[in-house]
Amino acid sequence: MEILELVQANLLTPVVLFFIFGVIAARIKSDLKIPDAISEFLPIYLLAAIGLHGGLEMRKTGFESMLVPLLVAVGLSVLMTLYHYQILRNLGKFNIFDSYALASTYGAVGAVTFSVGLSFLKNQGIASEGYITAILAVLEPIAFILAIFLTNMAVSKQTQIKKQAFTKKDNADVLEINTQQETKLFQVLRESITGKAIVILLGSILIGYAIDTDGFAPIKIVFEDLFIGAIAIFLIEMGIIAGHRLDDIKKGGVFLIGFALAMPTINGIIGVLIATYLGLSIGGAVMYGLLFASASFIAAPAVLRHTIPQAKPSLYITSALGITFPYIIMVLLPVMLILSTAFHNMELMNFGYLVENLK
């Protein structure tokens, strides 16, 4: 079976093995730990490398080709966050805050997962469109802003109803609450756009675009040749953190485990299908699918803890890092690659069939 073979081969890549190694180290209660400064530095490095790569590729392809995939991605991200919420709230019976927090965690993009995806494709010798990195940067804040906006709406509606039950002359108070929430939303928008992830990503895309391949040559050794090695080191740390959280997974309940496995699969396949339809390459479709499959576990807590403090971070961090992330890097990536290849072949065949018919 082709899928099993590819999954097996993928399990034996250094990136995945180091992750599993980290989990084991945590389980045997080893004191192994990547120093703080390095584990803070690595995400910045990874985003810079992704950004440069994206910028260089965009120089080759130009901006026009990215517009439609970008707009579709924004639409999909919004749509997915909304149906995540409906599933969590109505089927999973989570409270409104946890539902919105989880919905946006899964609607948002995981930059670490994205890096692992790039290294996976590199291992397979498959290229992908560079502008997907720019889509990553645009998509990053969208799911959060939507979830926070909707949570605020829901909360202010509730307070309004409660207030009306007490008194009729409540307009001034409600107005005050509304303006407070508007500033909160504006603050989130500002904070997430000036947040370090987006700043470094956009900055490196611009630099990559400006320097072109010639300018990239002297820094290639740092930003390209060391890329996979750096991911491997970072994944030791991710493995350790995930390993420490394994016990928490049970607390989330069976529904959340199912959600954390099923949602990325469905979203990822939708992404691959749409990307194939939009004419992205085989590798590009995998990365596009990965944008929707991945869940955010570094950016999400930083944003959500401030804006939806009522939601339990143990739920959304644990499910994103402890279940979804390992599942994606071990199983879903190879599966998406095979599906993408299959869809592309089908499309080619259809196209061939059409051409035949035209003759």
Partner 1 sequence: MKLYNMKLLTITCEILAQTNVIDILHKHHVSGYTFYEVSGNGSKGIRGQGFQNEKNVKIEVILQDKKLSDVLEEIARTMFPDYTIITYVSDIDVVRIEKFS
The tokens describing 223, both together, are 């930003």
CA distance 223 to 45: 8
- Nearer Cβ to partner 1, position 59 or 244? 244
Nearest one of 25, 45, 11 to 234, comparing CA atoms: 45
- Nearer Cβ to partner 1, position 53 or 245? 245
- Nearer Cβ to partner 1, position 239 or 289? 239
Task: Give me the residues that bind partner 1 (CB under 8 A), please.
Answer: 36, 39-40, 240-241, 244, 298, 301-302, 305-306, 309-310, 313, 317
- Least spacing, CB of residue 338 vs partner 1, in Å: 33
Radius of gyration of the chain (CA): 21
106 touches 84 (CB < 8 A): yes
- Nearer Cβ to partner 1, position 110 or 301? 301
Torsion 186-84-302-236 (CA) sign: negative
Amino acid residing at 350: N
134 touches 54 (CB < 8 A): yes
CA distance 286 to 327: 15
- Least spacing, CB of residue 139 vs partner 1, in Å: 20
SS in 3 state form for 267-286? HHHHHHHHHHHHCCCHHHHH
- Nearer Cβ to partner 1, position 307 or 340? 307
- Least spacing, CB of residue 207 vs partner 1, in Å: 25
- Least spacing, CB of residue 180 vs partner 1, in Å: 12
- Least spacing, CB of residue 84 vs partner 1, in Å: 22
- Least spacing, CB of residue 313 vs partner 1, in Å: 8
284 touches 275 (CB < 8 A): yes
- Nearer Cβ to partner 1, position 40 or 212? 40
